Structure 1
Amino acid sequence: MTALSSSERDQIVGLALAAIGAALFATKGIFVKLAYAQGLDAVTTLTWRMLLATPFFIAMGSFAYRDRRAGRGRHAKRPVPLRSVCGAVAIGVLGYYGASFLDFLSLDLITAQLNRLVLLTYPFMVLILGAVLFRRTLKPAVVAAALLAYLGIGVIFGHDIVIEGETVVAGTLFALSSALAYALYQLFAKPLIDTLGPRLFTAIAMASAAGVVFVHFLFSHKFASLAIDLEAFQILLGLALAATVAPVSLISAAIGMVGAERTAVFGNISPILTIILAIFILGEPFTLIHGLGTALVICGILLFTRLTIQPKSTAEAG
């Protein structure tokens, strides 16, 4: 049997890391729903997530800055522009506070399944915003893929609104707003990541968002509201580590090994895993209507991925 080359091993490991990272990202909605079942609200849950996760990202950014100063990595010896740091602060608040807060509000009103499917459509918004803001070409086939995915969401939305009522409208709007905020984050983050490197950018963005989250909490809650029991803490620890720190780290490593495009393909498994977990852990319903809507969304996403993926990625981890 022929031994694998170093490059082939890196490819296998990278794809495995991408798959595990996508699977862990799928648990986010489950952990949030479990936290709500413990009596926590969106702001308190988000605050605990930041308290537990941000130190890891700051440490990651510190190591990245040290490597940069020491002459290691793609950004070796490059200065850290103040303008890029300020940009990372602003984009971090948009992506890690704005998008996350809207996402958590959504999860309080709709199922984890519908929430995940709506959020999965953010790449469509990235392309549409790129076409509107930067006059980039938008292919008709890509528009058709987006319409197919949103048709699937509409099928589930129409079913759930009959059963759950107006909360489905508000929850879906929150999820769409979260996806839009994250799409804007993706659109404007790339040049900053190119300048700062992904690890340093993420550390600055996460720390900035954490500061805004803490201020939000202090203005809307008493400090004593952070007191929680052991079971709630275990759930929030899982949210911070298993659904935030671990997948972000694994996805970053995967991008470095196999490229951003191939890594992104594995994001398509995330809603399927969320649905399975939501059914068996949360007891959420899953009917033939949900199955039809989910199939349409996933088909739209797969078609979109096929139409937009580049044949070879040049993305690198910084």
Structure 2
Amino acid sequence: MSHATASARRTGVALAAAGAVLFSAKAILAKLQYRFGVDSVQVLTLRMTFSLPLFAALAVREQRRARARDALPTRRDWGLIVVLGVLGYYLSSLLDFWGLEYVPVSLERLILFLNPTIVLLIGLFAFGRRVAAREWIALAVSYAGVVLVMVENLRLEGEHVLLGSALVLGAAVSYALYLALSGELVKRLGSLQLVAWAMIVSTAAVTIHYLIARDPAALFGLPWQVYALAVANAVLCTFLPVTFTMAAVGRLGAGTAAQFSVIGPVSLVFLGAWVLGEKITAIQLIGTAVVLGGVLLLSRPGANSVPVQAPPQKPPA
């Protein structure tokens, strides 16, 4: 391996790891915002509003690149982008932040980490995909681990954990549907263009939701810490993980970069204890290890926090 190749790999590993930790840390920031009396709808609206300029700029750049390679979205593509934006970043985020009002961040990330198992089940029931024996074993192991952690959290936190877990699982299903439906668009448009437009659609959906459900004036006059945390969530835990992960894919390939998503749930176990004072027990650690082991057995790109794109194939010599 040449020095340049080794350097690119080290950079890719650092970007993939940073992307996984930063994307997971959005739950920490949301929990901190809740301490100032805001709710999940306000947290989500502020996050999407502050991230909108960044994704709009990304969309403009990707649109120019798409025009150069004749890969602009068709009318049918735009319709699918709207559906994916609502599923993948509006509904999923809404359920996720709502669930975070009831469950610790370590359990939230663990449930979301089940994405590849849910994608597998969608393929089985919706598309008639055959599931190998090894994959059934991985599914059983993964869900057994989540049940173990959830039972332990029920003992520590109370019955509200059930509601929160159901909401976060709904978020995971919504995002898994996004992954299952986005495959062809990712190949045709590229991951960054799709993510940018889907985030813009999601921001519009979140804004409409907020205007219907809340008084717009309630977003103003909040403690300054709420806005500071929202900006950090938008930049550090939303926009940067997308760009970091895609840069890692370019250096490592989609499969290798996706494996680093395992760092997210592990990091939140300790970040939740350090920043939020959440308890860590041996059973939680064992359950987390079981879930991670089950998901890694599947080794599917869908395990990543953002859609990943296969690296371009070299033309034959």
In 2, Cα distance between the equivalents of 1:263 and 1:151?
Answer: 26
Aligned to 1:235: 229
In 1, Cα distance between the equivalents of 2:251 and 2:59?
Answer: 20
1:126-155 Cα deviation digits (max 9, x unpaired): 011112111122111111112111111111
Q: Structure 2: any 5+ residue segments left out of the alignment?
A: 304-308
Contact 1:46–1:101 (8 Å) recurs in 2: yes
1:147-172 Cα deviation digits (max 9, x unpaired): 11111111121122233332111111
Contact 2:255–2:300 (8 Å) recurs in 1: no
In 2, Cα distance between the equivalents of 1:152 and 1:52?
Answer: 36
1:73-98 Cα deviation digits (max 9, x unpaired): xxx02343111111011111111001
Contact 1:14–1:253 (8 Å) recurs in 2: yes
| 1:281-292 equivalence runs, <5 A | 281-292=275-286
Aligned to 1:15: 13
Question: How many correspondences in the alignment?
Answer: 307
Q: What is the Cα deviation at residue 26 of structure 1? A: 2.1
In 2, Cα distance between the equivalents of 1:215 and 1:314?
Answer: 34
Output the amino acid matched with 1:162.
R
Q: Indicate which of 171, 196, 211 corresponds to 1:203.
A: 196
Contact 2:116–2:302 (8 Å) recurs in 1: no
Aligned to 1:215: 208
Q: Indicate which of 94, 101, 121 corresponds to 1:128.
A: 121
Does residue 1:52 correspond to 2:50, yes or no? yes
Does residue 1:297 correspond to 2:291, yes or no? yes
Does residue 1:116 correspond to 2:112, yes or no? no
Output the amino acid matched with 1:101.
L
* Cα distance change on mapping 1:308 and 1:63 into 2, 3 Å: closer
Which sits farther off after the overlay, 291-300 or 276-285?
291-300
The percent identity for this pair of structures is 33
1:50-85 Cα deviation digits (max 9, x unpaired): 00112111110100111222x2xxxx0234311111
1:159-205 Cα deviation digits (max 9, x unpaired): 22233332111111011111111100000011112222222211211
Aligned to 2:306: none
Which sits farther off after the overlay, 196-205 or 179-188?
196-205
What's the secondary structure of 2:299's corresponding residue?
A: helix
Output the amino acid matched with 1:231.
Q
Q: Indicate which of 61, 64, 72 corresponds to 2:62.
A: 64
| 1:1-318 equivalence runs, <5 A | 4-5=3-4, 7-69=5-67, 71=68, 76-227=69-220, 228-305=222-299, 314-316=310-312
* Cα distance change on mapping 1:306 and 1:129 into 2, 3 Å: closer
With normalisation by structure 2, the TM-score equals 0.92
* Cα distance change on mapping 1:78 and 1:305 into 2, 3 Å: closer
The alignment yields a C-alpha RMSD, in angstroms, of 2.0
In 2, Cα distance between the equivalents of 1:66 and 1:224?
Answer: 37
In 2, Cα distance between the equivalents of 1:113 and 1:287?
Answer: 12
Which sits farther off after the overlay, 22-31 or 98-107?
22-31
1:1-50 Cα deviation digits (max 9, x unpaired): x9613x44322222221111112112111011001111110000000000
In 2, Cα distance between the equivalents of 1:266 and 1:101?
Answer: 25
Output the amino acid matched with 1:271.
P
Which sits farther off after the overlay, 204-213 or 290-299?
290-299
Output the amino acid matched with 1:4.
H
* Cα distance change on mapping 1:316 and 1:59 into 2, 3 Å: farther
Q: What is the Cα deviation at residue 307 of structure 1? A: 11
Contact 1:255–1:316 (8 Å) recurs in 2: no
Q: What is the Cα deviation at residue 314 of structure 1? A: 4.1
Which sits farther off after the overlay, 118-127 or 78-87?
78-87
Contact 1:152–1:297 (8 Å) recurs in 2: yes
In 2, Cα distance between the equivalents of 1:235 and 1:308?
Answer: 29
